[in-house]
Structure 1
Amino acid sequence: MPDSKDLALARVGVDRAAHHRFDEPWLAAAWSHPTTKVLPISGGEAFVVDTENGAELVLLPSFEAPQTGDRYFLGTDEDGVSYFALAGESLPGRLDGDARPAGLREVGGTLSDRDAGLLVHAVALEHWHRLHSFCSRCGHPTEKAGAGHVRRCTSCAAEHYPRTDPAVIMLITDEQDRCLLGRQALWPEGRWSTLAGFVEPGESIEQAVRREVVEEAGVRVAEVEYVASQPWPFPSSLMLGFLGKADPAGTGITVDGEELSEARWFSREELGAGMAAGEILPPSGISIARHLVELWYGEPLPAAARW
């Protein structure tokens, strides 16, 4: 089974060092330290530069970073370097070199482990803060605390924490070892992927797998096996990956017409031939769906189909 570290958006290179989040003197000293690196972020995008090995984040010394914006402490690395995100209404107007703005969907798969972990963390925090300016208990304004990992109500003092919505994503196979893939009407022509859906209140993740598959495709699932998880900050989900076996008596497909416009069973030969002909576009490289399909397929999908 693949480990989470094999997934594009689950890689880490920085210790989040949560014990420093409420230590204001330490945070102030860390921000002013000459080795500290700052990641400006706005609207889910940061500056990157393109290299032969992929994209790299543009990280600024704190003394070169804008003086306005919300600071989020992201952690420290093994050399003691501290990392902060700086969220603003827009990215800094001027940077030297070939820096360009980019988001996770575009560059998440080509970033280093450190950069992927930093950007996922920063994107998730920025989105949460942007949408949670007021207290859900009393309606009064909230203010940032815990180095960006808490919002505290200015009236009733209630503390609010970043939201993470669990979602299941699953590759289901039948008795012939064919895999079940579906497509949405809004996707590019030929795009197919695994089924997925959110976990509902009071529901186990195994129950969610079975419910989502029968709701979307009419297929009944028997065995369910957990594989790995990956953060999916679009905007605030945790994708929980599963393999499942269809009930032999319930493999007939009936799509719901809402989540899916089409679903079908694929053999390895059918999927491989479709990708080779350019008629089938598999899930993107940053999605856990890609890894579930490759786990069943038995090898990496053809390079021509990877992007």
Structure 2
Amino acid sequence: MTAQAPAKRVRTAVAAPRPVHKARRKVKPARVLLHVFLSVTALVWLIPLLWAVYTSLRPYDETASRGFLTFPKAITGENYSNAWQQAEFPHYFWNSLLITVPAVLLTLFFAAGIAFFVTRFSFRFNLALLMLFTAGNLLPPQALITPLFQLYLKLPLPSWMSDSGLFYNSAWGVIAIHVAFQCGFCTFVLSNYMRTIPHEITEAALVDGAPVWRQFFQIILPLCRPAFAALATLESIWIYNDFFWALVLFQTGSKRPITSAIANLSGEFFTNPNLVAAGALMTAIPTLILYFLLQKQFVAGLTLGSSKG
């Protein structure tokens, strides 16, 4: 017998994987121009803010003798402390809070009710009603100031709401005009957002026996939180920064909001621009804090509704 020869082992060589080179994206000239444009725009937008910060940290004597376009010899926060005391910022901050918070809450509540009515119920004039509220934003405030001023001098208010017994020279009068002017914009935004919510949700709630008020408060309003956060941020900034209505509808200077406190830093014959710059920056602090706190909700409210439906 002959022994069988062992089978030869066949070794297969495994080729090493070749490195995969990712294809580089070609940078288009249009994209380069876009980034250059955005960078220049951001820089131009920030120049006034940076200039105000630079001016507020310099003493007035130095800028008066050497000019504003010079390198500072001293940096100080004295302008901020002086502006805080001279303009009575705590008092005027409280006045702005008393105006802004009720105005924003009432605006969002009324706008949400109108938007719910025109989007969830079909009737003959729902589109015309929505257009009527939206068209109110097209009227400039200066065109209404004379009849509104005469109206405020005749509309009564209870003594616990106004010292004068009228809408004029009352915080409620300024709140009312803010609500009236801002309801149109908020109704437009909320109605577009509510249209993205399926009608099957409210129809199912109606079948379960939920009345209209329960549908509004427990179903629709919770689903509109991103839109409410975005609108609350915008409305708070707009109403807080208002100076026109407070100047016209307030007779007593101590009742005016924080925007009028900056005017108190300017004298009749002399104005310290360094002091005014410090006061303006302190005025902007609450709006910046509000934006940074609600930044995530603000961006979500602006973009979430566009991806539905």
- Please report the TM-score for the alignment, with normalisation by the length of structure 2: 0.23
Q: Point out the structure with the larger helix share.
A: 2
Higher RCO (CA < 8 A, seq sep 6+): 2
- Mark the structure with the bigger radius of gyration: 2
- Please report the TM-score for the alignment, with normalisation by the length of structure 1: 0.23
Q: Point out the structure with the larger strand share.
A: 1
